[in-house]
Amino acid sequence: MVELDKETKDMVSFITFIIPEFAEAYKMNKPEGFRYLEKYGGLDYINENWWALHTDNPKYALRSIFKICKRNGGYL
């Protein structure tokens, strides 16, 4: 079994937390939320900025992710 380092574990933990939170906040089910984030650059943004996002209030992190998606053509 491969042991993940602490940073990788923290990143995975944050990503698995924030995707369902995003979906719930914007009235989507989890698969729809994931596809939306994938289509409009939200996943890339989360992966690149998770360290800063996870230290913020989840409300503000979700707002930042939403803004990125909107900037990339998101419709919400």
Please check the confidence at residue 14 and state whether its pLDDT lies above 80. Answer: yes
Q: Is pLDDT at 2 greater than 90 in this prediction?
A: no
How much is the average pLDDT of 34-45?
98
**H helices present in the chain, as ranges:** 6-25, 30-39, 42-55, 58-71
Please determine, for residue 32, whether its predicted confidence score (pLDDT) is greater than 90.
Answer: yes
Residue 76 has pLDDT above 80, yes or no: no
Q: For the residues 23-29, what does the mean pLDDT come to?
A: 97
Mean pLDDT for the chain? Answer: 95
Spell out the domain ranges in the chain: 24-76
